[in-house]
Amino acid sequence: MKHIPGDALESLAALGVAAEPDTLVRLGRFTDLLEEALRGKRFGNLLGPGEMPRVWSRHILESAAYLPFLREGARVVDVGSGAGFPGVVLAILGRSVTLLESRRKRFLFLLRVRETMGLQGLRIINGRVEDSGPFPEGTVFTARAVERMSELPAALALAAPFGYSLTVRAGNPESLPRYDLIAELPSPPLDRPGFMVQFRHPGTGTKEESVGG
């Protein structure tokens, strides 16, 4: 497992994430698929130049750090999944996840990951969040690499009018419009400081509005 360090289980535990050795094998397979895709360039620029050497500390661990903040048993909707962070990592860790990715090449890469790894509980949508709703009451959203992150809560209020939560990693939470929960992320094991920020929106719609479209 080229990109999975020897202390991987301990690093995950430091983030509050319990994992088994076979989980590390699946995470290693995912990083292999990502590295293979980057070499072939068939799926576009999935990660920036020089990112693979720190794929564990920067991308896998930061994605796993979302897990303790997500409601147990809820299906997660990952907005702007890109190369699969955090959505694919959360799926490997046992969550039911829907990936939303509007860019066609990245969508095709995510399909390849699902098919190759047999992640049958992973749903993948080629589209934007504003075109994919309405989402049911209490939908749990995640996001990590969305452009104009500060605008996302307002967009989700329209896409999920019956209430939702949104969990994001932020370097500076003060740049975001509002939040209900904030926790500083430990560095190390993460390779940069940051915060986990969670928004909760009670909803503005009604059940009757949902039936009417």
**Residue 39, C-beta contacts closer than 8 angstroms, at least 6 positions apart:** none
Instruction: Identify whether 55 is part of a domain.
Output: yes
Q: What is the mean pLDDT of residues 18-39?
A: 95
Residue 115 CA, distance from chain mean position:
19
Strand pairing partners for 201?
Answer: 164
What's the pLDDT tens digit per position in 152-177? 888 898 899 999 999 999 888 887 77
Instruction: Identify whether 81 is part of a domain.
Output: yes
Q: Is 70 exceeded by the pLDDT of residue 205?
A: no
Instruction: Give the helix ranges, DSSP H, for 41-86.
Output: 61-64
**CA nearest neighbour of 93 among 116, 112, 68:** 68
pLDDT at 211: 26
Q: Are the beta carbons of 87 and 107 closer than 8 angstroms?
A: no
Which residue range is the domain that position 99 belongs to? 8-211
User: What is the helix (H) or strand (E) element at residue 40, kind and residue range?
Assistant: helix 21-40
Instruction: Identify whether 135 is part of a domain.
Output: yes
What's the pLDDT tens digit per position in 169-199? 988 888 777 788 899 999 999 999 999 999 9
Q: Are the beta carbons of 11 and 60 closer than 8 angstroms?
A: no
The structure's pTM equals: 0.92
pLDDT at 206: 54
Domain count, the chain: 1
Instruction: Identify whether 1 is part of a domain.
Output: no
Compare 62 and 202 and report the one with higher pLDDT.
62
CATH of the domain at 38: 3.40.50.150
Instruction: Identify whether 161 is part of a domain.
Output: yes
Instruction: Identify whether 137 is part of a domain.
Output: yes
Q: How many CB atoms lie within 10 A of CB 104?
A: 11
Mean pLDDT rounded to a whole number for the chain? 90
Instruction: Identify whether 3 is part of a domain.
Output: no
pLDDT at 210: 35
Going by pLDDT thresholds of 50, 70 and 90, the confidence category of residue 86 is very high
pLDDT at 180: 85
Instruction: Identify whether 148 is part of a domain.
Output: yes
